[in-house]
Amino acid sequence: MQPHSITDKELVASIMNGDRHAATKLVRNTEKLVVQIVYKMLGNSRDRKDLIQDVYLKTFRNIPKFRFQCKLSTWVAQISYTTCLDHLQKMRPHLVENYDDENSYAGGLAEAQWIEGPRNPSQVLAAKERAAILENACTELPVIYNTLITLFHKQELSLEEIAEITNLPIGTIKNYLYRARKILKQRLLTNYTKEDI
């Protein structure tokens, strides 16, 4: 017999009743996503750990207001995103650099396969090297592009979930993903041979 999988409603009710195990479960279920968002948006900032704590303080303070209009993890991710955005806006006013791009998002999500997994065991090392090159290139993207790449490709969230988290229209998200991939491709081809990547 499989253990009962707790629903978002049950988890929230338990947290509101003061159940510490439920609170710990919420943190465990969402910490990877929260850390990804905070680390991508804040880069090497010393404030990252404080921001993560702030995210969970806001989560538990506002959990009575959660209305189950999205998944609980999406709501926590939204708090993470807006907390980081607020912090960044205090630090610097512009999050998206202006890139001259005459093309709108036309390529569909077919370009989403921007890193291929290894096809056989002999390619594992090469794949790790490519992943490291790509990760490094992503850190040089504007914050919002890097964050969207992380949410879509690494966390494998849907466009709809990303729209809920970021409060951006799906068309804008597609456009930013397209631009981010285009910038990455240009930078990678400028700095590496095709064999390297």
Are 86 and 124 part of one and the same domain?
no
Q: What is the CATH number for 73? A: 1.10.1740.10
For residue 137, what are the contacts with CB-CB under 8 A and spacing of at least 6?
184, 187, 188, 191
Q: What is the CATH number for 176? A: 1.10.10.10
**Number of structural domains in the chain:** 2
Are 86 and 17 part of one and the same domain?
yes
Amino acid 184: pLDDT? 85
Asked if 57 and 101 count as a contact pair (C-beta separation under 8 A), the reply is no
Are 79 and 142 part of one and the same domain?
no
Least confident interval from 51-55, 84-88, 131-135, 168-172:
131-135
Q: CA angle, corner 101, sides to 40 and 104, nearest 5?
A: 90
Amino acid 139: pLDDT? 76
Residue 114 has pLDDT above 80, yes or no: no
Asked if 123 and 139 count as a contact pair (C-beta separation under 8 A), the reply is no
Q: Which residue has the tokens 């512009």?
A: 94
Question: Which among 32, 62, 91 is the end of a domain?
Answer: 91
> 11 or 44: whose pLDDT is higher?
11
Closest CA to 62 of 129, 15, 127, 106: 15
Are 146 and 187 part of one and the same domain?
yes
Are 80 and 115 part of one and the same domain?
no
Are 75 and 136 part of one and the same domain?
no
Closest CA to 25 of 38, 36, 13, 37: 13
Question: Which among 91, 126, 161 is the end of a domain?
Answer: 91
Are 170 and 120 part of one and the same domain?
yes
Residue 143 has pLDDT above 80, yes or no: yes
Are 79 and 138 part of one and the same domain?
no
Amino acid 64: pLDDT? 94
Q: Which domain holds residue 157?
A: 111-191
For residue 34, what are the contacts with CB-CB under 8 A and spacing of at least 6?
52, 55, 56, 76, 77, 80
Closest CA to 145 of 120, 166, 129, 126: 166
Are 80 and 133 part of one and the same domain?
no
Residue 96 lies in a domain: no
Q: How far is CA 29 from the centre of its chain?
A: 15
Helix (H/G/I), strand (E/B), else coil: 66: coil
One-letter amino acid at 32 equals: K
pTM (whole model) above 0.75 = no
Confidence label for 40 from pLDDT (cuts 50, 70 and 90) = confident
Are 30 and 70 part of one and the same domain?
yes
